Every structure is written in C-alpha cells, then in structure tokens.
Amino acid sequence: MSLGLFYALVGGGLFALGLAGLILQPRLLGKILAFNILGSGAFLVLVGLAQRGGTPDPVPQAMVLTGIVVAVAATALALALTRRLADLSGAAVLPEDDARAPANPRGPDGD
C-alpha cells in the first residue's frame, strides 16, 4: 500500500469519525470540533489520493489551502453563533423545542 493511499484511508476514517461526532455530540463545541475533523479527513483524502505518480500534484494542494481558509471562516462563524446562543439561553446546546417548531396554538405572539 502506497503512502498516499494510507493517507487517504486515514482521511476516510477521520471523515467518518467527524460525521459521527457531528450527529452524536450534544454540545455545540463538540459539533464544531467534529466538523473540523470531518473537513480534515476530506483534505487528507484529496491530497493522499492525488499522489499516485510519486510526484506531488500542486492542484490539490492549492485546493486544500483554499479549503482550510473556508473551514476557518466557517468555524469562526460557528463559534460566534455559539457564543451568542450561550449568552441568550445560558447553554451552548441547541434548544430542543424549536427543532420541530410545534404547532402550538397557545404560543406567544411572534413577529
């Protein structure tokens, strides 16, 4: 097994781990970390699979760099929202009640 393929397999594992975390982690911080692991897995597959010829391919490197920038931006937004949510509701978790947005006939007037 080539080193590249090994990286790719590890990347696949990280992706799966991140996916599981994103779904199962109850705390938002945990979900955000899980997303980062998921993203890293994808990057690893991108770089790893592309190295079959022995010489590194510059294109995926450029892609991963771009991807990292995107992931950082997404993480920053996620953290900002988490803080705001924690400030408003006192806990860094998603509230259960409005997930299904129940048809509560006695709900308060919104706008």
Partner 1 sequence: MAIESVAPLPWLVLLPLAWATLSFLLGPSRGAGIAIVGLLLQAGLVLLLAWQLTTMGTQHHAVGGWGAPLGIDLVADGLSVVMLLMTAAVALPVAIYARAWFVAKPAGAAWFWPLSGFLVAALNGLFLSADLFNIYVTLELLGLAAVGLTAATGERRAVAAAMRYLLATLLGSGAYLMGVALVYGTYGSVSLAVLGGLVESLPVVMLAAGLMVAGMLLKTALFPLHFWLPPAHGGAATPVSALLSALVIKASFYLALRLWFGVFEPLAAVSAAQVLGALGAAAVFWGSVQALLQARLKMLVAYSTVAQVGYLFLVFPLATGTPAEAAAGAWQGGVLQAVAHALAKAAMFAAAGAMILGAGSDRIDRLGGVGARLPLALFAFGLAGIVLMGLPPTGGFATKWLLLMAALETGQWWWAAVLVGGGLLAAAYVFRVLLAAFAPVPEQGRVTGVARSLEWTAFALATAGVLLGLFAAHVVTLLDVGA
Helix (H, G, I), strand (E, B) or coil at 98: helix
Q: Does 17 bind partner 1 (CB under 8 A)?
A: no
Site for partner 1 in 40-99 (CB under 8 A): 41-43, 45-46, 48-50, 57-60, 62-63, 66-67, 70, 73-74, 77-78, 81-82, 84-85, 88-89, 94-95, 98-99
Which residue's structure tokens are 């924690």?
Answer: 86
Q: Which amino acid is at 25?
A: Q
Buried b (16+ CB within 10 A) or exposed e, 18-49: beebbeebeebeebbbbbbbbbbbbbbbbbbb
Q: Does 105 bind partner 1 (CB under 8 A)?
A: yes
Picking from 33, 42, 49, 36, the residue whose alpha carbon sits closest to that of residue 15 is 42
| Closest approach of partner 1 to the CB of residue 101, in Å | 5
The residues of the shown chain that bind partner 1, judged by CB under 8 A, are 8, 11, 15, 18-19, 22, 28, 31, 35, 38-39, 41-43, 45-46, 48-50, 57-60, 62-63, 66-67, 70, 73-74, 77-78, 81-82, 84-85, 88-89, 94-95, 98-101, 103-105, 107, 109-111
